[in-house]
Structure 1
Amino acid sequence: MTIVMEENKPNNIKKFLNFEFSSEEEKEAFIESSETYSEYKDIIELFENVKSVDYDKDGALEKLDHARLKPSVNKKRVIPWQKKWLPMYVAATVVLFVSVVLFNIKNNLEHHTLAGEFTQISLPDASKVWLNAKSDIAYNKKWEKSRAIDLKGEAYFEVAKGETFTVKTPQGTVTVLGTKFNVKQRHTSFEVYCYEGRVSVMYNGKETILSANNFFNSKALDKHIQTTTSVAAKPHWIEKMSVFENTSINDVVSDISIQYDVEFNMNNNLNKDLKYTGSYHYDDALETVLNILCESLDLKYVKKGKSIYLNKK
């Protein structure tokens, strides 16, 4: 990119970046009158906040100085190139880093939800995303070039037909052309449920193809592909409900903690293989949810602030 400087002020940007203005008045005059400053305002102001880069110049160059050029016969002083150019190199590196950060910030769109929240997002191609509680997605503004989303947490997708649509999570990747599916990535768990069409799931370097009413569970010991007998048009959480069918106690309390922003502590004597079948609505009071859970599994609980302590009766 060519930077066009104001007439008679070719060194102003350089002076600004090197903090060489003779006074605050000169600096303010440059900021108010400079078109160049306005064009690169974000990068210049971020660079100004850096002020100076701390580095041990003498220590870093100690070994290099041993190999510096010896003075010539006429005793003319030779300045080692490292000392002459390293500060400028460091400054240039900072500018480049700031530029890259600004580029990514300006070209990415992000959506976040807190505990107990969920939201619906419409994508540029008319695809729709429902984002569950405590989840994050990010994608590039130039959506037409690559239909790709980064996901942490849980989201349900209704994908418009078109080019390949990819959902990337820290544990696996889901690829489709046009379909309806749910992706859940929590801690060490990775699940994909296909509601319509077909989806490709890439996990640990192995591809698995799911068709409608099939789901993938990374925790399954015998096989990853499973079929459900419960046919639903969408995930229950979109209707503000969590439904469990012979679900481990760990997964149940994890789900409750996400919706109610609490932390569970289970006594060491508690059977971690307990399974729970039931449901709750997100509008239910936390105490109601806990009472039903404990009554079903013969447990008791103590609530202290945002901590829930579970134990056997």
Structure 2
Amino acid sequence: MPEADWKHIVDKYLNNTCTREELHQLLQWVNEEPDNEALISLLRLRWEQQQVLTADDPERWNRRFDQLLTTTPPHRKVVISKRAIIAAAATVLLMLTTGITYYLYRSHSSIVTPPAMVKFNDVPPGGNRAMLTLADGTQISLDSAANGVLATQGGTSISKQQNGQIAYNGTATDARYQYNTMSIPKAGKYSLVLPDGSKIWLNSASSLRYPLAFGKERRVMLTGEAYFEIAPDAKRPFIVEVNKSELHVLGTSFNVMAYAEEAQTKTTLVDGALAVNYQGSHTLLKPGQQATITTENNKITVEPADLEEALAWKNDRFYFNNTDIRTAMRQLERWYDVDVTFRDTLNMRLNGTVSRTVSISGVLKLLTLTGEANFSIQGKTVSVGK
């Protein structure tokens, strides 16, 4: 295709005047020449020149999304390679300039015409929300607390920093017998710095119990999911009690996912060394490995980790890697504080990534592109069906 022709088609597409035939011509060309830098550069340039839609303007979002869908022919499948989707279609077809870059593709890398869109209500994304319970039972809502010193216990001061992080400062020995608990609700996340300098990020529906000061060992108790960056201390191992297992570390970065509603507990080691102890079994992880404990067989299995998947939540993203739709919906339940019900039996798996900073309607509209499911929202309930 002459360069002038495809530039003209790109401009027409972005101005919503592209015909069905021209759209298919563009998709076919992207498929045949996924590495064409001139095309990709033009697509990005033209898109950036368009007026930006923001998540704060849902009506314009809905109009732009509906325009995109109605441009696609109703009875044809356009097969494009996975490589092309990642390189170009994510920019042209699914970058709706709301902070979402989502490329949800089928097992055979085909884009399927979605079913009729359901009118969505909306639920905003989660944010920094947490409740801190002090040793004397006092509770502090951290999302509404002002910056500065929040409390002093056993010679240890607890402060909220400008970035919202909670920090502990003090070395009083009697403080090791006093415990605090940070509880993260659904639609929440939070981070803290322990007295030894270790940094911890907590995901939604999680909690961490820890002493105000550490003794000969550094021991904490986790439920839910957290990412740890442990300060090195060769004389005092750091121990995480989680779901009937113990994780022993020194200076290490790792993620633990141990929600009660999930069938597996997953520990993913980013760097350092980590030992998983579970019911008499001891497993040593190397960086880039993941240990999985399955409740059905009570065994530990170790395999190479998908670090992008394991750390996606910390990086404010959902990451689906052949993920069962029910597992994916549980992630949405925790982050958006909604209840998900299934009207039909769905045996579909999802692949792709989407920002956690957008409202739930943005995520669900993109999931609708699978062509296998549709969604509706009534209040705080999401209904899923065929």
TM-score, normalised on structure 1?
A: 0.61
Q: Equivalents in 2 of 1:203, 1:274: separation in Å? A: 32
Find out whether 1:195 has 2:266 as its counterpart. Answer: no
Change (3 A) 1:255 1:214: same
Q: 1:298 to 1:110 in 2, by over 3 A?
A: same
Cross-structure match for 1:132? 203
Residues 178-207 of structure 1 deviation map (CA, whole Å, 9 limit, x = unaligned): 110001111243110000012111234322
Match of 2:256 in 1: 183
Output the CA distance in 2 between the equivalents of 1:245 and 1:233: 7
Matched residues in 1 for 2:245 and 2:375: separation?
A: 35
Whole-Å Cα distance in 1 between the matches of residues 303 and 216 of structure 2?
Answer: 34
How far did 1:177 drift?
1.4
Q: Does 1:225 align with 2:302?
A: yes
**Equivalence map 1:46-125=2 (5 Å):** 107-125=178-196
Q: Deviations over 1:205-237 (max 9, x none)?
A: 322221111112224989711113x55598222
User: How many pairs does the alignment contain?
Assistant: 208
Matched residue, 2:282: 207
- Amino acid of the structure 1 residue aligned with 2:217: S
- Determine the structure 2 residue equivalent to 1:288: 362
SS class of match (2:331): helix
1:251 aligns with 2:324: no
Counterpart code for 2:350: Y
Give the SS at the match of 1:298.
Answer: coil
- Residue 238 of structure 1, aligned match among 310, 314, 329: 314
Check the 8 A contact 2:175/2:212 in 1, yes or no. Answer: no
Structure ID, larger Rg: 1
Q: CA deviation at 1:259?
A: 0.6
Residue in 2 that maps onto 1:263: 339
Counterparts in 2 of 1:105 and 1:167: CA distance versus 1, 3 Å: closer
CA contact (8 A) 2:308 2:319 kept: no
- Deviation of 1:110 after TM superposition, in Å, equals 1.2
Alpha carbons of 1:142 and 1:185: their partners in 2 closer, same or farther (altered >3 Å)? same
* Equivalent AA in structure 1 for residue 238 of structure 2: F
Equivalent in the alignment of 1:38: none
Q: Is the 8 A contact 2:376 2:382 kept in 1?
A: yes
Structure of greater relative contact order (alpha carbons < 8 Å, 6+ residues apart): 2
2:356, 2:221 → 1: CA distance? 26
Helix, strand or coil at the partner of 1:126: coil
3-state DSSP class of the match of 1:294?
helix
User: Does the alignment pair 1:303 with 2:377?
Assistant: yes
Which SS does the other structure have where 1:124 is aligned? coil
Q: Distance in 2 between matches of 1:260 and 1:105?
A: 36
User: Does the aligned pair in 1 maintain the 2:273–2:285 contact within 8 Å?
Assistant: yes
SS of the residue corresponding to residue 258 of structure 2 reads strand
Structure 1: distance between partners of 2:380 and 2:287? 39
**Mapped partners of 1:257, 1:249: distance in 2:** 12
Distance 1:201 1:119 in 2: 25
The AA in structure 1 aligned to 2:268 is: Y
**Within 1, Cα distance between the matches of 2:345 and 2:376?**
14
- Aligned partners of 1:237, 1:198: CA distance in 2, in Å? 22
Change (3 A) 1:284 1:223: same
Sequence identity percentage: 25
1:297, distance to aligned residue in structure 2 (A): 5.5
Deviation, 1:261, is 0.3
What is the CA deviation profile of residues 36-84 of structure 1, one whole-angstrom value per residue up to 9, with x for unaligned ones? xxxxxx9xxxxxxxxxxxxxxxxxxxxxxxxxxxxxxxxxxxxxxxxxx
In 1: Cα distance, 2:300 partner to 2:230 partner: 27
TM-fit CA distance, 1:311: 1.1
1:30 counterpart residue number: none
Contact 2:339 2:382 (C-alpha < 8 Å) held by counterparts: yes
8 Å contact from structure 1 (residues 243, 279) kept in 2: yes
* 1:179 partner amino acid: T
Residue 169 of structure 1, aligned match among 242, 252, 258: 242
Question: 5+ residue gaps in structure 1?
Answer: 1-41, 43-102
Q: How many angstroms does 1:158 deviate by?
A: 0.6
Once the two structures are superposed, residues 106-130 of structure 1 have per-residue CA deviations (whole angstroms, 9 ceiling, x without a partner) of: 8111111122221111111111111
Contact 1:266 1:311 (C-alpha < 8 Å) held by counterparts: yes
Rate the CA distance shift 1:176–1:106 in 2: closer, same or farther, 3 A: closer
Higher helix proportion:
1
Q: What are the superposed Cα offsets for residues 282-303 of structure 1, whole Å, 9 maximum, x if unpaired?
A: 2111111112123225101221
Q: Does the 8 Å contact 2:176/2:212 carry over to 1?
A: no
CA distance in structure 2 between the partners assigned to 1:170 and 1:122 by the alignment: 23
Indicate the SS of the match to 1:218.
strand
Structure 2 residue identity aligned to 1:149: V
Structure 2 counterpart of 1:258, which letter?
R
